[in-house]
């Protein structure tokens, strides 16, 4: 039976924040997971190395359970914990230093990745482009704002993204940067698509065949864009690529409380009505023109070839089985 540990309040708060979506967005979740692991390591009070490792594994499992879909969460855990297993720890203090250093390294990498994605993605947009986006993605916002600073993009249509309305976060972020922002209902995407030149969205998970798991409504937006011959770009960090799908493992699609859609009183009055609230959907690779990562811009079919070097033993074991990446498949 697994021993239970008393966890620092900061770790519990981060877990609960991820679970209740007050901490949301796959990249932001990953960064907060790294912060939680750092806090956990710093808060360990014993001197037994084996006990410290069991404790950190316990914290990792606890954090992994917060949300099921975004692969950035387990990848962030793997990044930090794998570094504790690389050699023989001489002391708990050494383990703490390694965990804190790995967490800080991951956070810095993640923040820089968004910057690089913004710069690379902006090159894909053209002067006068009108953009549509969906939900809230720090990476997608980075692409659009970088393009705006280059004088390429001024007009953006932002889908509201029900039921949690993350589109409102994006609308504010883009308006604060000086863009001309129009917030539209999710159901109006096809109506406005004739005014749009590019679609830019984020990702929660990229699977082995290049399909993208993202906020519900993304696949419908990509389908509408394909019908209108509008290019679709996915902006995402490589730690959102899922190594587990290489062996056929499916990405679990989170289903949340029906009360996010209708209130308790309505449910009681209409008890014969079933309410289903999936949070994510899957966009096929053929509906995506390119995936913009901090390592380069790739066609979705090249997702298998992304060389992920620094995200833990589990990722390395999968990636080491892949053929070398071809230069022509990374386009700056």
Domain of 128, CATH number, reads 3.40.50.10470
Task: Note the pLDDT of residue 171.
Answer: 98
Please give the residue range of the domain that contains residue 38.
9-114
Does one domain contain both 287 and 139?
yes
| Mean of the per-residue pLDDT values of the chain | 90
Does one domain contain both 253 and 125?
yes
Structure letter (DSSP) for residue 329: G
Single out the catalytic residue among 20, 57, 204, 332.
204
pLDDT-flagged residues of the chain (< 50)? 307-315, 317-332
- Rounded to two decimals, the pTM is 0.87
Task: Note the pLDDT of residue 248.
Answer: 62
Does one domain contain both 74 and 127?
no
Single out the catalytic residue among 135, 186, 289, 320.
135
* Sequence-separated (6 or more) residues with CB below 8 Å from residue 131: 125, 144, 147, 153, 155, 156, 157, 196, 197, 198, 199, 200
Give the count of domains, the chain. Answer: 2
Order of strands, sheet of 205-206, starting from the edge strand that comes earlier in the sequence: 205-206, 212-215, 280-283
The residue behind tokens 């990446």 is 325
Task: Note the pLDDT of residue 280.
Answer: 96
CA 280 → CA 132, 301, 320, distances in Å?
Answer: 19, 21, 30
Does one domain contain both 107 and 54?
yes
Task: Note the pLDDT of residue 330.
Answer: 42
Does one domain contain both 164 and 285?
yes
- What's the pLDDT tens digit per position in 124-154? 999 999 999 999 999 999 999 999 999 999 9
Does one domain contain both 216 and 71?
no
Is 135 in the active site? yes
Q: Is residue 60 part of a domain?
A: yes
Task: Note the pLDDT of residue 322.
Answer: 41
Does one domain contain both 140 and 288?
yes
Does one domain contain both 110 and 120?
no
Task: Note the pLDDT of residue 153.
Answer: 97
Picking from 38, 82, 40, the residue whose alpha carbon sits closest to that of residue 58 is 40
Pairing label, strands 290-293, 129-134:
unpaired
Is 204 in the active site? yes
């Amino acid at each position: 039976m697994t021993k239970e540990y008393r966890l620092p309040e900061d770790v519990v708060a981060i877990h609960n924040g991820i679970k209740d979506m007050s901490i949301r967005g796959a990249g932001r979740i990953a960064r907060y997971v790294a912060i939680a692991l750092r806090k956990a390591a710093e808060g360990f009070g014993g001197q037994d190395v084996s006990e410290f490792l069991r404790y950190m594994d316990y914290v990792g499992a606890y954090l992994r359970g917060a949300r099921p879909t975004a692969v950035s969460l387990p990848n962030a855990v793997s990044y930090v914990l794998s570094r504790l297993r690389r050699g023989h720890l001489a002391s708990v203090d050494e383990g703490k230093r390694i965990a804190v250093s790995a967490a800080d390294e991951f956070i810095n990498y993640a923040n820089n990745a968004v910057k690089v994605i913004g710069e690379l993605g902006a090159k894909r947009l053209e002067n006068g482009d009108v953009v549509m986006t969906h939900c809230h993605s720090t990476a997608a916002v980075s692409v659009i704002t970088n393009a705006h600073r280059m004088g390429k993009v001024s007009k953006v249509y932002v889908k509201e993204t029900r039921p949690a309305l993350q589109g409102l976060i994006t609308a504010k972020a883009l308006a604060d940067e000086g863009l001309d922002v129009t917030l539209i209902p999710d159901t109006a995407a096809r109506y406005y698509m004739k005014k749009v030149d590019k679609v830019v969205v984020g990702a929660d998970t990229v699977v082995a065949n290049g399909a993208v798991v993202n906020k519900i409504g993304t696949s419908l937006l990509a389908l509408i864009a394909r019908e209108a011959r509008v290019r679709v770009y996915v902006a995402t960090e490589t730690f959102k690529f899922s190594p587990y799908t290489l062996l056929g493992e499916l990405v679990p699609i989170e289903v949340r409380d029906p009360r996010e859609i209708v209130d308790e009183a309505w449910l009681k009055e209409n008890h014969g009505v079933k309410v289903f609230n999936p949070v994510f959907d899957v966009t096929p690779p053929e509906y995506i023109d390119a995936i913009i990562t901090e390592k380069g811009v790739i066609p979705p079919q090249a997702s298998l070839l992304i060389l992920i070097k620094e995200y833990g033993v589990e990722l390395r074991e999968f990636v080491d089985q892949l053929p070398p990446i071809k230069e022509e498949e990374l386009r700056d």
